Amino acid sequence: MTLGAEPAADVVCTKQGHAGLIHLNRPKALNALTHDMVNIIAPALELWAHDPEITRILIDAEGEKAFCAGGDIRKLTEQGKSGQKAEAVRFWADEYRLNTKIKTYPKPFIALVDGIVMGGGVGLSLHGHYRVAGDRYLFAMPEVSIGLFPDVGGTYALPRLQGEAGLWLAMTGARLKRDDAMALGLATHAVASADMQLLKEDLIAGNEIEPTLEKFKTTLGASRFPDLMAQINPLFSASSLSELITRLEHASAQSDFAAECLSIIRKASPTSLAITFKQMRHGRELSFREAMMLEYRIVSRVLDGHDFYEGVRAVLIDKDQTPKWQPDCIENLDQNVIETYFKPLPQELDLSE
């Protein structure tokens, strides 16, 4: 039974053995997540939840470069600029419902992640029971560099990482390889890329999950954590964005790490940074559903602003890497404007099922 239409579809959902298998199939686009893909995956998960022959869900991706490098951001900006904001917002609503379905799924959800995992790909993998990282694993949430914010459940997951690692990742878009991701709990198991297919076959056959994962585990290298936490925590424990900048400025003369963080943050959208800082601090208090509702409030308003379109233009379309943010620096932010992104909507995200 194939739910993703023909094998050439952008995502193929099939029942194989004891598994419901989701296979992302846009390797030339780094398996970027489209609205159509969301609308194939969600009903497949709903169907499999009630199929007694299926005891686990597997998600993997075609190609060696990326598991899923994000959502189809170009399409969303095109829709927003051409008066189709409602359609763009509908994508995020359906994506966030899918993220919630994965988080609350009644059967083990196993993501086989071997390559880049960013944005939408994080939403498809991080909230499941098992995140299996291959040799090519590379995690990042670099949304502030394109005028967005770390969504798809980042509000919930990132603040719950150890210390201030989540805020650091959100504000800088830092990239983590497998050893670091394992140290932070972003990945739960490490398997050699060469063994991923064999692991997949054993899981499809219905073998017990945890013993099977243990059977294929590979030796980890050295992680930068916890040593890196000794640098992250004193800087990113700031109580406000302005305090964070001040700490980074004071430390940058003696610390290459602080100088690098400051340089990256200074290039990002000031509005996105302010939203993200508040989002990360507030997220510690929210349930997963509350976090998704908050993200929907924010993203619905991002489309009415300037920086998202400008960030995508500068980074992904023209690739001149010189976005003209409005306002152009953190010091010119109006906190009252930032607060409006977080206010309830007339029509909130419906997560009832």
Q: Catalytic residue among 20, 115, 119, 120, which? A: 120
**Nearest-angstrom CA–CA distance, 264 and 273:** 11
The active-site residue, picked from 71, 80, 121, 134, is 71
198 contacts 162 by C-beta, under 8 angstroms: no
Q: Tell me the HSE value of 349 on the side-chain side, using a 13 A CA sphere.
A: 27
Which DSSP state fits 344? P
Whether 283 is a known active-site residue: answer no
Which listed residue (143, 164, 202, 295) is catalytic? 143
Residue 10 falls in the annotated catalytic set:
no
Identify the DSSP state of 290: H
Task: Exactly one of 151, 164, 295, 310 is catalytic; name it.
Answer: 151
Confirm whether 120 is a catalytic residue. yes
Question: Which residues in the chain belong to E strands, given as ranges?
Answer: 11-16, 19-24, 56-61, 66-68, 109-113, 116-118, 130-133, 138-140, 176-177, 189-190
Which letter does DSSP use for residue 23 in this model? E
Answer yes or no: 243 catalytic.
no
- Tokens at 70, concatenated: 């994000």
What's the one-letter identity of residue 107?
K
Phi-psi region of 58 (alpha: psi -120 to 50; beta: other; left: phi over 0): beta
As a whole number of angstroms, the distance between CA 287 and CA 227 comes to: 30
DSSP state of 314: I
CA pair distance 76, 87, nearest whole angstrom = 8
Residues belonging to the active site = 71, 120, 143, 151
